[in-house]
Amino acid sequence: MRHQFFAPCAKGLEYLLVDELKALGAEDVHEALAGVHFAGTLAIGYRAVLWSRLASRILLVLKQSKAPDIDAFYDQVRSIDWLQHLPEQGSLCVDFTGSNAYLKHTQFGAQKVKDAIVDQHRARGRARPDVDTEQPTVRINTHVHRDDLTVTIDLSGHALHERGYRPRAGLAPIKETLAAAILQRAHWPAAAAEGKPLVDPCCGAGTLVIEAALMAADIAPGLFREDFGFNQGWLLHDDALWTSLLNEAEQRAEQGVAAVRSELFGFDADIRVLQMARKHAERAGIDDFVQFERKPIANLQKPIDQIGIVVANPPYGERLGEVEALTATYQELGETLYNEFQGWQAAVITSEPVLAKAMHLRSHKQYAMYNGALACKLYLFDINEQSRWQPPEERELKLSEGAEAFRNRLQKNRKHLASWLKREDVHCYRVYDADLPEYAAAIDVYGDQLLIQEYQAPSKIPEAVAQRRLRELVQVATEVFGLSPERVQLRTRAKQKGLSQYEKIAEAQHFEVIEEGGLKFWVNLQDYLDTGLFLDHRITRTLIRERAAGKRFLNLFSYTGSVSVYAAAGGAHSTTSVDMSRTYSDWAMQNFELNQLDGPAHQFVQADVMQWLPTVRESFDLIFIDPPTFSNSKRMTDVFDVQRDHVELLRQALQRLAPGGELIFSNNFRRFVLDRDALADCEIEDWSRKTLPMDFARNPRIHQCWRIRPR
């Protein structure tokens, strides 16, 4: 029998978990925020419980349905045949997550689930099940989001990071699931297959080293546990199936331990945690090829001549003291890596960019991760002669008074936006936009990178002055955000003409995935004049999503299709995205695929909008238009000027608008004036202020936006 499952995980681990579940044989695998959906037989669910190194839990889906009110919620939970799952004298525990208009408290939600189950038992003449929060017969996980209800059985029991070899946590522990993710990102499985060594210079209780050893020896992370969510009396448990999977895992472990060629080393200055680490390794059965030794980072030397991998989870400022007090530790770590581990690869996780910067090493890749609720970054390094990074404050350039004023403004802007960014979960935003005329640039944050777009300096400014200000601008921005230079992209911005606005500015393809509004988008901060996502349209995209349910949506001058993705995610019946650039049409299709929204209902048209509109006969319920200010592409039959041509454009689009539909029109031409007289037969509502995000509030003319409907 085929089942639906959901595997929660820490944010940032979704893509890794997708690959892991596919390797275990799961089907229909696709990521969600902080988790992964998949399908398969019960054997696949059991295998995921036994073998997943990254999932927090494995949940078996019993019901997914709509529950618009509390009565429907109760009825949907009660409609599940709980007597198939709970035995006589069984017990239950209900975990409830989410909230909506009628369920604002998780305790109340859990109580309603319990009531529905108890009432079903009573109605069928069965004794009411007891509640047991420690070791229930069945652990039920219920989640609501708006009107959507999901009811699952937790096959895990205790969280899967509790492997069983570590009964007590050491000082400042790292979860085993996060440790496994760090090792995956550091490409440890491939290195272990080649017999390469691994070193943890600040190993604590040994979690990273032991997880690495389990991977190298092909030992299932669930092999040390006896209690799971399915073997406490769940009626549908298949004990023979589970036993066969355990036997297979035990055979693989026996063969894997014998085949390990890698040596693993853990060092720490604290003898107490090292004693714990040795006990953990012994319980895990991997102590024969794992060594723990007391040694501070400053005295550490390469323990083996063979080139391998260094992984480290140094202490963070929030947990073990002030950041300033830990700077020396990170400096020592950077010195040791550079001096002792030339040719090795390294992976270091920390929550503080300023501490990562103190290592004075160039990272070639960074990944956002969470250690519990603490946002962190994993920095990957190739340790070689070119690894040294000289911090900005150590360079020859001495900052001017103007640069110090720019620093103060940038820090002020960042602080001003901090609470809003956290509240709205915004990862890409504008932090500075020529606030000081002497430092005329726009600075955008894209996750863990900066894009600095310098506005073209007036001709009256001497070239030497302009160049110095640019260097100061980059230096200060890099320092304020605690980034290494390779995480900062710089462009000089000038007015673009014709095809140049569509052309690449480099041949390489530097695409990365960012997140906005629970959706994912490909962006490119290096190769194109625009990144692929207009940040000032963040609210506009959200409004489109809120209006799109069940509607036929048309996106004209669609660019990379981000607005269409929002419409599709909002439940649009169909979307049509029109742009004359094949590059952008392909980009839009890739954004749909990234969010698993692609299908025949979503069409992409490469065409000149002004030539295409008169040929189409289909009607649309919702139309979005965001044209360029000016375009004279050779693919067009005429020059497009938004001020001159907007009435014709809007008239043609309104002819395609279905009765009761609405058109949203926006553009970024600062001197644009909407011809209301020519559109006197339309109801026009100015949405310019309504669609202005907080990070663009200092620049209210960044775009203008209107909602237009025929009277």
Tell whether the model's pLDDT for residue 497 goes beyond 60: no
Domain boundary residue, one of 373, 389, 405? 389
Q: Alpha-carbon distance 631 to 559, whole Å? A: 14
**Angle made by CA atoms 207, 208, 209, in degrees to the nearest 5:** 95
For 572-594, the DSSP string reads -SEEEEEES-HHHHHHHHHHHHH
Residue with the bigger pLDDT between 355 and 467: it is 355
Is 236 within the bounds of a domain? no
Tell whether the model's pLDDT for residue 396 goes beyond 50: no
For residue range 510-532, list pLDDT tens digits in order: 788 999 999 999 999 877 778 99
**Whether 681 and 705 share a structural domain:** yes
Contact 389, 362 (CB under 8 A): yes
Is 170 within the bounds of a domain? no
Q: Alpha-carbon distance 240 to 233, whole Å? A: 14
Taking residues 539-556, report their average pLDDT.
97
User: Looking at residue 475, what is its pLDDT?
Assistant: 87
For residue range 93-130, list pLDDT tens digits in order: 999 999 999 998 999 999 999 999 999 999 999 999 99
Tell whether the model's pLDDT for residue 297 goes beyond 80: yes
- Strand duo 148-154 + 59-66: pairing: antiparallel
Domain boundary residue, one of 100, 123, 154? 154
Tokens found for residue 235: 């009626």
- Strand duo 428-433 + 441-446: pairing: antiparallel
Q: Alpha-carbon distance 651 to 600, whole Å? A: 28
The overall pTM is greater than 0.85: no
388 — pLDDT class (breaks 50, 70, 90): confident
Is 575 within the bounds of a domain? yes
392 — pLDDT class (breaks 50, 70, 90): low
Is 247 within the bounds of a domain? no
Tell whether the model's pLDDT for residue 337 goes beyond 50: yes
399 — pLDDT class (breaks 50, 70, 90): confident
Is 294 within the bounds of a domain? yes
**Whether 381 and 526 share a structural domain:** no
**Whether 400 and 352 share a structural domain:** no
Kindly state the DSSP code that residue 707 receives in the 8-state scheme.
E
User: Looking at residue 504, what is its pLDDT?
Assistant: 44
Tokens found for residue 635: 């693919």
Is 518 within the bounds of a domain? yes
For 421-489, the DSSP string reads HHHHT--EEEEEESSSTTS-EEEEEETTEEEEEEEPPPTTS-HHHHHHHHHHHHHHHHHHTT--GGGEE
**Whether 383 and 484 share a structural domain:** no
User: Looking at residue 389, what is its pLDDT?
Assistant: 77
**Whether 149 and 112 share a structural domain:** yes
Buried b / exposed e across 38-75, counting CB within 10 Å, b at 16+?
bbbbbebbbbbbbbbbbbbbbbbbbeeeebeeeeebbe
User: Looking at residue 508, what is its pLDDT?
Assistant: 42
For residue range 401-416, list pLDDT tens digits in order: 899 999 999 999 999 9
CA distances to 192, 334, 338, 382, 390 from 346, in Å: 14, 10, 10, 7, 19
For residue range 133-182, list pLDDT tens digits in order: 889 999 999 999 999 999 999 999 999 999 999 874 444 478 999 999 99
Contact 587, 604 (CB under 8 A): no
For residue range 550-565, list pLDDT tens digits in order: 999 999 999 999 999 9
**Angle made by CA atoms 52, 54, 56, in degrees to the nearest 5:** 90
For residue range 201-252, list pLDDT tens digits in order: 999 999 999 999 999 999 999 999 999 999 999 999 999 999 999 999 999 9
Check the CA dihedral 394-395-396-399 and report its sign.
negative
For residue range 58-82, list pLDDT tens digits in order: 999 999 999 999 999 999 999 999 9
The domain that contains 549 carries what CATH number? Answer: 3.40.50.150
492 — pLDDT class (breaks 50, 70, 90): low
CA distances to 152, 181, 295, 380 from 17, in Å: 19, 9, 35, 20
Domain boundary residue, one of 367, 389, 411? 389
442 — pLDDT class (breaks 50, 70, 90): very high
Tell whether the model's pLDDT for residue 187 goes beyond 80: yes
User: Looking at residue 391, what is its pLDDT?
Assistant: 58
User: Looking at residue 464, what is its pLDDT?
Assistant: 76
Is 234 within the bounds of a domain? no
User: Looking at residue 72, what is its pLDDT?
Assistant: 97
User: Looking at residue 67, what is its pLDDT?
Assistant: 96
User: Looking at residue 470, what is its pLDDT?
Assistant: 86
- Residue 703 phi/psi, 5-degree rounding, is -155, 165
**Whether 49 and 126 share a structural domain:** yes
Tell whether the model's pLDDT for residue 318 goes beyond 70: no
| CB-facing half-sphere around the CA of 428: CA atoms within 13 A | 25
Contact 142, 94 (CB under 8 A): yes
**Whether 643 and 680 share a structural domain:** yes
Number of structural domains, the chain? Answer: 4
Q: How many residues does the chain have?
A: 711
**Whether 385 and 397 share a structural domain:** no
Contact 337, 346 (CB under 8 A): yes
Q: What domain range includes position 38? A: 3-154
Average pLDDT, the chain: 91
The domain that contains 475 carries what CATH number? Answer: 3.30.750.80
633 — pLDDT class (breaks 50, 70, 90): low
Is 500 within the bounds of a domain? no
CA distances to 49, 121, 344, 427, 526 from 329, in Å: 38, 60, 20, 29, 34
Look up residue 383 and give its amino acid.
Answer: I
**Whether 551 and 427 share a structural domain:** no
* Residue carrying the six token digits 């007015």: 495
**Whether 378 and 402 share a structural domain:** no
Q: Percent of the chain having pLDDT more than 90?
A: 77
**Whether 272 and 294 share a structural domain:** yes
Contact 400, 476 (CB under 8 A): no
Taking residues 443-468, report their average pLDDT.
85
306 — pLDDT class (breaks 50, 70, 90): very high
**Whether 562 and 698 share a structural domain:** yes
CA distances to 77, 336, 385, 474 from 486, in Å: 52, 22, 16, 12
